[in-house]
Amino acid sequence: MEEEARLFSALADPTRLEILRFLSKKKGCVSSIQSALKKSQPNISQHLRVLREARLIWYKKEGKQTCYFICKPQIAKLIQLAKRIAKGGDYDV
């Protein structure tokens, strides 16, 4: 149950959801995520840490940059489902 609570806690922030939506389309380095979301680098890095600790994303060093990606494809489906539920739409997965 603790794992599920950590998952939902990590998903409970609009910026983290934006990051996950971005990463569901392609991997991204901190600078590309920062540019797309128009947030500060320290802010993005802090949210990335929370997502890593919740095991929603992982990273790979590419030269001097750290690039992030979604660990499991189910995460993108979960976010889509949450969006449909929040809007009162169809709940079928």
> Which CATH number fits the domain that encloses residue 28?
1.10.10.10
- How many domains does the chain contain in total? 1
Each residue of 11-42: pLDDT tens digit? Answer: 899 999 999 999 998 999 999 999 999 999 99
Mean pLDDT calculated for residue range 65-74: 90
Query: Is residue 30 in some structural domain?
Result: yes
Residue-range definition of the domain harbouring residue 48: 2-86
Query: Is residue 91 in some structural domain?
Result: no
Q: In this structure, what DSSP letter does residue 72 have?
A: -
Each residue of 45-64: pLDDT tens digit? Answer: 999 999 999 999 999 998 99
The pTM for the full model equals 0.85
Query: Is residue 68 in some structural domain?
Result: yes
- 30 backbone φψ class: left, alpha, beta (φ>0; ψ -120 to 50): alpha
- Pairing state between β 28-29 and 57-62: unpaired
Query: Is residue 14 in some structural domain?
Result: yes
User: When comparing pLDDT for 19 and 84, which is higher?
Assistant: 19
Are 27 and 2 in contact by the 8 Å Cβ rule? The answer is no
pLDDT at residue 69, as a whole number: 95
What 3 state SS string does 42-69 have?
HHHHHHHHHHHHCCCEEEEEECCEEEEE
Query: Is residue 92 in some structural domain?
Result: no
How far is Cα 72 from Cα 23, in angstroms, rounded to an integer? 11
The answer, yes or no, to whether residue 93 has pLDDT greater than 60, is no
* Helix H or strand E segment including 71: none
Tokens 């750290």 map to which residue? Answer: 66
Query: Is residue 93 in some structural domain?
Result: no
